[in-house]
A and B are shown apart, each in its own frame.
Chain A
Amino acid sequence: MPDTNVPSPPPLYAPHRKIYPRAVAGRVRSVKWAVLAVLLGLYYIVPWLRWDRGPGVPDQAVLADIGNARLFFFWIELWPQEIYFLTGFLILGAIGLFAATSLFGRVWCGFTCPQTVWTDLFMWVERRIEGDRNARMKRDAGSPSRDRTLRRIAKHAAWIVIAAATGGAWIMYFQDAPTVLWQMVTGAASVQTYFFFALFTLTTYVLAGFAREQVCTYMCPWPRFQGAMLDQDSLVVTYREWRGEPRGKLKEAGHGDCVDCGACVHVCPTGIDIRDGQQLECIGCGLCIDACDEVMGKLHRPQGLVAFETLANLAASTAAAARFAPGPERREAGMAARRRLHMIRPRTLMYAGVLSVVVAAMLGAFLLRDTLTLTALAERAPPYVRLSDGGIRNAYTLKLADKTRNEGNYTLSLDGPPGLQLVVQDVATDAAGRPVLPARPDGVATFRALVTAGPELAVDGRARLRFRLLDDQGRVAASGSSVFVGPHR
């Protein structure tokens, strides 16, 4: 027999319930609109920014040129082998996200996550066409009508247009924006372009139009572990229970400030009740704060029954307010017990530390980045060739990568056991007989070098070699190391 004293957990199965969030106005909503405008503006405008890099080079400021394997970001141009800068940037983003979360809770989820931003935009369109919460609920529950069908068609058409613009803009980060737009309009774009355009259009349409809060609740990993970044001093959206309870009708005496109007629930984009406490589903968007503030304003009670608040303050207020009956004294006692936001704490200091280390590492790596690199690859079939006089010859593939777009000739010298002879096939030599390698602007020039040890030179097994590339002033511009292999004696 199961132990009936243990309270049963909530059921694992929950049928999907459609959510009809009500429109709301207020401070948080205004901030959210502003953030939305800035982020969407950036997203759609950035591909159109131009940046002159000279002839033969794309003039798009931000471009991941997959075809030519170059990443352009204003004055920065990265090669595929420097993708670690992108990795570093993502690490930076992740730690920044951790730091922001430990300070201000789920600001990323509630304000800046693309899922939230596009869902907000889609909901705005929905309200324009189908009306607010009540109108939509009524129409959905009613019988099919011409009006309902037309509105639905209009809504989905508008959504698809936005989704197409979103998918189209995404393509433009990977191909020259004006060119690819014209190609897509005239049908000249590649099949891949259309595929990814359709893919991102479809995902935007489905995720922002239908999946919405289910993405946050069921698909996104971030809500699962972001709790690890939160602590008692992080700002989270909370209901000040000490002030609101017991909730009840305005006219009846003995109640707290919450009049149980349900406004906070009706505006919630994930359909939860903030008064139930901290919940996985809460994305911290703060719209319930606006909704409650509006109601409190009408009732001439102080705003902030639902607010961005730390759990430490909430506990302090609860303790201080416990002695009082509902009313102004309880409110004041609770609010007076609050402390200032405790921003500097071991956790945030640690995040700041890691953040500055990563920034310093990336900055250092970027400033010390080589624009000319020499790689020497020893040929392995055969590892060495025996010559008729008993000497040993090794062959190397030299790869000279020049990340600049300037012509340049470099003299090659060899640093290794004395007496080795260096020949590079198909290049000229300078007055001293040293090979002169022409670099390929914005490209990799490949050469084949032959290094010969005469019979008198006893190379046993292997010896270290270093190829040095000298510029016209004789300074070492790049170098690459390899080994010289011979038979074991």
Chain B
Amino acid sequence: MAAKPETDAVSGVVTTGHEWDGIKELDNPMPSWWIYTFYACIAFAAVWVVLYPSLPFVRGVLGYTARKDFAGTMEVQQARAEPMLARMRAATPAAIAADPELRPYALAGGRIAFATNCAGCHGSGGQGAPGGFPSLADDDWLYGGTFDAIHTTISVGVRNGENPDARGVQMPAFAAAGLNMTQIGDLAEHVLSLSGGATDPAAATRGAALFAENCVVCHGERGEGSRELGSPRLNDHIWLYGGDKASIIRTTAYARAGVMPTWASRLDPATINMLTVYVHALGGGEQ
């Protein structure tokens, strides 16, 4: 709009004619290095658009996709890991754990597989969770803590309805099986007394007869449980569904039935072997 270009006195550069509160803008040209870098970027972009997918619905000439790239990377990594995984597949978990070369690999691989597949229920450190997710780090096992037992449990799962060999039998709901709530309360007192936690000795004594009648088949005379059936020990300090009287009454009256998927159909044998070694090493592994 300015009629004729104005030259700044100090720098000798023409101004743009814009003025803000007495400050005028010099009309310096863009630095040439900047201009050429800009042109180079445009040229680069033009080549890029042709070669790589940059516009909606247009595939680049090179046929590159991030998905394909990822698949390729995975293939390479799988091939790299294969010799070790083949050994993991061939050996038993006990043999892997005893091999100083295989053991660290199995523990590392097992930790990853555990975090991906198991930690959701059993916790990041295998500590379990209230409500029927057993701790894998303690010394109490429902189905056994040897390498073989852990391997089998992971492979077949528990009460999952997808594997006929799955672990676990169903505990009856005693409220529906003929016991009234007073009897179940007495029974709970007896169960608590097995680990020295009873509060009402008279009720516990009354419960002992009910226990012998209804529970010993699965849980044993002294509540020692059975690993064949997966019936938990009742005479220790570990409670899958809570060890207070109310929880025990609830468990007895309505029954509990935790489930676990069968992993043999989801994970490859090498991963299951590594998981077995990892779970065994969490702290409760048995020989």
Contact = CB atoms under 8 A, between A and B. Distances in A.
Interface of A: 11, 13, 15, 379-382, 385-390, 393, 395, 425-426, 448, 450, 455
Contacts of B236: 388-390
A145 to B, nearest CB: 23
Majority SS of interface residues in chain B? loop
A387 B125 contact: no
Contact of A385 (B12, B124, B127): B127
A454 to B, nearest CB: 12
Contacts of A425: 281
Contacts of B190: none
B237 interface: yes
A395 B237 contact: no
Contacts of A386: 135, 138, 237-238
Contacts of B125: 379-382, 395
Contacts of A389: 236-237
Contacts of B12: 15
Contacts of B281: 425, 448
B233 interface: yes
B106 to A, nearest CB: 12
Contacts of A388: 138-140, 233, 236-238
Interface residues of B, number: 19
B118 interface: no
Contacts, number: 53
A471 B43 CA distance: 67
B124 A387 contact: no
Interface of B: 10-12, 103, 123-125, 127, 135, 137-140, 233, 236-238, 281, 283
A380 B127 CA distance: 10
Given A381-B125, A393-B283, A387 B11 contact: no
B10 A385 contact: no
Contacts of A15: 11-12
B137 A11 contact: no
Nearest to A13: B11
A382 B127 contact: yes
B234 to A, nearest CB: 11
A450 B238 contact: no
Nearest to A2: B22
A426 B107 CA distance: 12
Contact of B10 (A11, A379, A426, A450): A11
A423 to B, nearest CB: 9
Contact of A395 (B103, B124, B238, B283): B283
B123 A382 contact: yes
- Give the interface centre of B11, B127, B283 by most chain A CB atoms within 10 Å: B283
A390 B233 CA distance: 13
Given A13-B11, A382-B137, A450-B283, A387 B237 contact: yes
Q: Which of B10, B124, B233 has the most CB of A within 10 A?
A: B10
